[in-house]
Amino acid sequence: MVPELPEVETIRRHLAPHVEGRRLSALGVIDARWTLPLTPEAVTDVVAGRRVERLSRRGKYLVWELEDAVFLIVHLRMTGTLLLDPTTAPPHTRVGFELDGGAHRVLFVDPRRFGTGELAIGADAARHFFDARLGVEPFDPAFTGRHLRELTRHSRAPVKALLLDQRRIAGVGNIYADEALFRAEIHPLRRGDRLTLRQCERLRDAVVASLSAGIEAKGATIDDFRHPDGVQGSFQDQFLVHRREGRPCPTCDRPIRKLRAAGRGTYVCESCQPKPRLSPYAAAASSSRRPARSAAESS
DNA sequence: CGTCTATCCTGTGGGC
DNA sequence: TGCCCACAGGATAGAC
């Protein structure tokens, strides 16, 4: 399952007590792609030997805060995970974090190799890194319905695309966007600028509620990418609509449908989440594409 | 500037 | 049964 805010937060909580206060004695970068555009040496030279002051999270980033304001900023992307003291290194191990001279270790395992490790030296560099990429943290008190309204009211893009835009809201991905839109009874293709303040308030509450439920369940885990030494979440058992095509809506029992929004597989109850009348995007998509595709599109 | 599309990558599963 | 290829998607560069 693709790690989003709740999955990254779960990993952070799992690892933090075991790494904070210890020394990152070595960093073994097996896959040089991980540190691009820097070389592995450029990163390992800076971080090796430094104490871990804190393991923190910002959006979907996991941050190793090292002494002397050195920040190793990790993104798991699609299939990355971090394993604590695994008995053996699984296939697709890309990076090894060695703690206290090898007494403990954390492995970064990532079959698809999209994951990244980036370096920020100095508090200003770290702040700049995040400011350039991330918007409001969903659990920040500043994230209100009114704030969400400001983030959406000037955009004609579908609301799902806005939820997925990390520069507006940090940490929401495909799963939690679907779940939140269902809870708020808003169709994912509804235009941002057509949302009422009341809808924005419902959606804010739904985003927070979905992410909270995800964290409570220790995130979502998919069978394919779980490892014995990793965290096993159960949130996939509580999905209301995500990946539940054809199954009954928990509210009205009508079948959940799959469609495409913001280029992603998207699950909705079109009875509880009323379809926008004439989204320019939906209209353009159905008229500009060959008619034969529209039937295949929904599977 | 705002929005959309292609790209990176590899395991999975649908189709034949 | 086994092979092939489309598909999945977070972030970002580039297109329009």
- What pLDDT score was predicted for residue A287? 40
- The residues of the protein lying within 7 Å (CB) of strand B read A 33, 78, 91-92, 111-114, 154-158, 161, 192, 224, 262-263, 281
Quickly give A111 CA vs B12 C1' distance in Å.
12
Residue A245 reports pLDDT greater than 80: yes
Q: Which of A23, A50, A57, A60 is catalytic?
A: A60
Q: Which of A13, A77, A264, A275 is catalytic?
A: A264
The C-alpha atoms of residue A236 and residue A233 are separated, in whole angstroms, by: 8
**Digit-coded pLDDT (tens) for A1-39:** 689 999 999 999 999 999 999 999 999 999 999 999 999
- What pLDDT score was predicted for residue A1? 66
Residue A213 reports pLDDT greater than 50: yes
Cβ pair A281, A189 in contact under 8 A: yes
**Digit-coded pLDDT (tens) for A103-160:** 999 999 999 999 999 999 999 999 999 999 999 999 999 999 999 999 999 999 999 9
For residue A4, indicate whether it is catalytic: yes
- What pLDDT score was predicted for residue A278? 59
Q: Which nucleotides of C are covered by protein (CB under 7 A)?
A: 8-12
Mean pLDDT of chain A: 90
Q: 3-class SS at A121?
A: strand
- Position with higher pLDDT, A133 vs A222: A133
Side-chain-side CA neighbours of A166 within 13 Å: the count stands at 16
Percent of residues in chain A assigned helix, strand, coil, to nearest 5: 40, 20, 40
Give the rounded percent of residues in chain A with a pLDDT score beyond 70. 90
State whether the Cα torsion A86-A87-A93-A96 is positive or negative.
Answer: positive
Residue A85 reports pLDDT greater than 90: yes
Quickly give A111 CA vs B10 C1' distance in Å.
7
**Digit-coded pLDDT (tens) for A174-193:** 999 999 999 999 999 999 99
pTM of the model: 0.91
Q: Which nucleotides of B are covered by protein (CB under 7 A)?
A: 2-6, 8-13
- Could you identify the residue written with the tokens 């995130």? A219
Q: Which stretch of A69-78, A129-138, A175-184, A218-227 has the lowest confidence by average pLDDT?
A: A218-227
| Torsion angles phi and psi, residue A268, rounded to 5 | -145, 155
Cross-strand pairs, A191: A158
Q: Count the neighbouring beta carbons within 10 Å of the beta carbon of residue A48.
A: 15
For residue A60, indicate whether it is catalytic: yes
- The residues of the protein lying within 7 Å (CB) of strand C read A 2, 4, 59-60, 75, 77-79, 112, 114, 133, 164, 166, 173-174, 263-265
